[in-house]
Amino acid sequence: MIQKLSMKNRRGVSQIIGSLIILAVVASVGSVILFQGLNQINAFNHDLSFHDREHSQALREDIIFEHVRFDPNTNDLVLYLANVGSIDTTIASVTVVKIDTQELILNWRDVDSTINPSNPTGTILIDDHIVLHNNANLIGTSQWNHTNYNSTNYDYKISLTTSKGNFFDTVRSPYNS
């Protein structure tokens, strides 16, 4: 009987209730810490996007050479380009080098001002195509079909640079362009 009385007078919290209280405290404190951490990470990413915006935009530029035409009866070089990147692109320069002799065939600076006279910035819009025409500097002749320039052994490296400093190039031959 003495043992029964001492058990009745004892006060306490059952294990289930105690576990639920601890779980509620841990969940509420944990969620506060989680949301504060996520907000800090979000603020850090936001600050980084403003810190180096030009570099992050340069990574989104992408241009492909759809076609290169060496007009056989002239010294015209026609480039068909497409902007497949996720930002507008401005072409700054185009160079063409004959690979075997390292002869500079074309060194075209300030391309942006000659692409579209009504748009002097020369911006190629996203998912847009453009055609560039220029005359190559062919020594001793003014035609691509001359044997010095038109052979299966002659390849030309065509490179273009954008205003953001990106570099795109391709190697083409007058026979496979």
- Distance, in Å, from the CA atom of 93 to the CA atom of 107, rounded to the nearest integer, reads 8
Which residues does the chain have with pLDDT short of 50?
176-177
| Partners of 48 in the β-ladder | none
Class of CATH domain 62-172: mainly beta
Domains of the chain, by residue range, sit at: 2-51, 62-172
What pLDDT does residue 67 have?
92
Q: Could you tell me if residue 140 is left (phi over 0), alpha (psi between -120 and 50 degrees) or otherwise beta?
A: left
Is 105 within 8 Å of 171 (Cβ atoms)? no
The secondary element (H helix, E strand) that includes residue 106 is strand 103-109
What pLDDT does residue 45 have?
82
What pLDDT does residue 135 have?
87
Q: What is the DSSP letter of 125?
A: P
What pLDDT does residue 150 have?
78
